[in-house]
Amino acid sequence: MSENQAFDWRSIIENKEQPGADVEIVVTKSPLAPDHDPEIHKIDVSDRRMENTDDDIRDGAGMASVEDIHIDEILRMAVEKKASDIHLTVGLPPMIRLDGSLQPLPFQKLTAQDTKRLIFDTLNDEQLKKFETTRELDFGYSAKGLGRFRFNVYVQRGSVAGALRAIPTQIPSFNSLGLPQIIREMSKRHSGLILVTGPTGSGKSTTIATMIDDINDSRSGHILTLEDPIEYLHRHRKCMINQRELHSDTYSFAGALRAVLREDPDIILVGELRDLETIEAALTLAETGHLVFGTLHTRNAPSTIDRIVDVFPHDQQDQIRVLLGNTLEMIVSQQLLPRLGGGRAASIEIMLGTPAVKNLIREGKTHQMYSIIETSSAMGMQTMDRSLADLFRQGVVAYEECLMRAVDKETFARQAKS
């Protein structure tokens, strides 16, 4: 075959049943090549000099099997790549989330038997029994030399699947996270309700862990946490810290919160305000002189207020607005965006429980809150759109990404150009 003949790669016919087998490649006429008769050549594709593409890895072509691999080996690879999440599901190789994007690890596609074995190897008898009964399971998993992971096990299309969130071994500081100073100042309060909100994977647990760790370094007291599962492990320093995990240390958030007053706490962390009983108990504890931290899956401060109030029956909502108005100290709403050059950056909205904000809560006028936040920047408040505009102007995040995440796109566009 002469050097100026060209391949029509669409004519490749692969023998998929025998990896490394000969493949027939038909060399067809190219308009750039001289006239010639088509020839058939055979090559051995076991000698592949081309690097695997993302599609190759996603398909598992030529990749290692997980048949004899423990899940810790997959986790080790994910930790080395600094992934935030690991996913195990049938039909794909183990997947990781890196800087917000899902990417495959270099393994073959997982079968139903693979995912079941990998996941069930991490469960004890009690966890296995619970999963087989409920088809849902949350727990904390520790891998020697790697750290801790929040593990969620579920069933999809009749097959076992799992999602793991990597939990850093060291609790980050305010400076390393780039959190505004006002958040640190507000965490020094001795009573009231502080909420951190945002979508899944936005760093809510990390922000609260940083606040709790700062309190632990600055004053004495009893910190009690209720989590599902325990994520960051806190040590006794100036504070005594007791961490309770749902299902292993208590059977419900509401039940644990009802008993918490007998445990003499000063500061209480509720991992997630997920239902009426939990929210009502948290508000009551904040009203009785405790500092209460909690999280919700809401996008911004006004929607957080509406979510809390709407959980209750209509005839109780006025009472809850008054209670919330009396206790709220701060709402921090955040989301993580891909940083230009790699990594992720946090966009943060902050609303403080000023008298003007508390009055709007009591009167049910959440739609007017943004005007107060925008005019109270000197106090440390900021809207999500202002934070996004700052990230764009500082060259941290691309304009299109910020625009897509903005609450009000017109407001963001105006602030980004100012």
The Cα 42–Cα 1 span in angstroms is: 12
Do 113 and 88 contact (CB within 8 A), yes or no?
no
pLDDT at position 238 is 97
Least confident of 11-25, 192-206, 323-337: 11-25
User: Which residue type is seen at 78?
Assistant: A
pLDDT at position 253 is 86
pLDDT, tens digit, 9 for 90 and up, residues 55-75: 655 666 668 899 999 999 999
pLDDT tier at 30 (50, 70, 90 boundaries)?
very low
pLDDT at position 252 is 87
Phi-psi region of 279 (alpha: psi -120 to 50; beta: other; left: phi over 0): alpha
How would DSSP label each residue in 13-29?
Answer: B--TTSTT-EEEEEE--
**Fold of the domain spanning 174-382:** Rossmann fold (3.40.50)
- Would you state the structure tokens that stand for residue 63, as one six-digit string? 């990749």
- Would you state the structure tokens that stand for residue 273, as one six-digit string? 């305000």
Could you tell me the residue ranges of all domains in the chain?
A: 9-44, 54-167, 174-382
pLDDT at position 27 is 43
Percent of the chain with pLDDT over 70: 85
pLDDT at position 58 is 61
pLDDT at position 351 is 98
> Check: CATH 3.40.190.10 for 54-167?
no
pLDDT at position 221 is 97
Mean per-residue pLDDT for 117-142? 95
pLDDT, tens digit, 9 for 90 and up, residues 368-382: 999 999 999 999 999
| Average confidence score pLDDT of the chain | 88
pLDDT at position 153 is 98
Burial of 380 (0-12, 13-18, 19+ CB in 10 A): middle
CA dist 159 → 26, 97, 263, 416 (Å): 42, 21, 42, 47
Q: Is residue 340 pLDDT above 50, yes or no?
A: yes
- Would you state the structure tokens that stand for residue 112, as one six-digit string? 């139903």
By C-alpha distance, which of 17, 24, 20, 18 is closest to 42? Answer: 24
Beta bridge partners of 159: 156
The Cα 178–Cα 312 span in angstroms is: 36
The Cα 340–Cα 281 span in angstroms is: 42
Strand, coil or helix: 62: coil
Burial of 53 (0-12, 13-18, 19+ CB in 10 A): exposed
Using a cut of 0.85, tell me whether the model's pTM lies above it.
no
pLDDT at position 78 is 97
Burial of 315 (0-12, 13-18, 19+ CB in 10 A): exposed
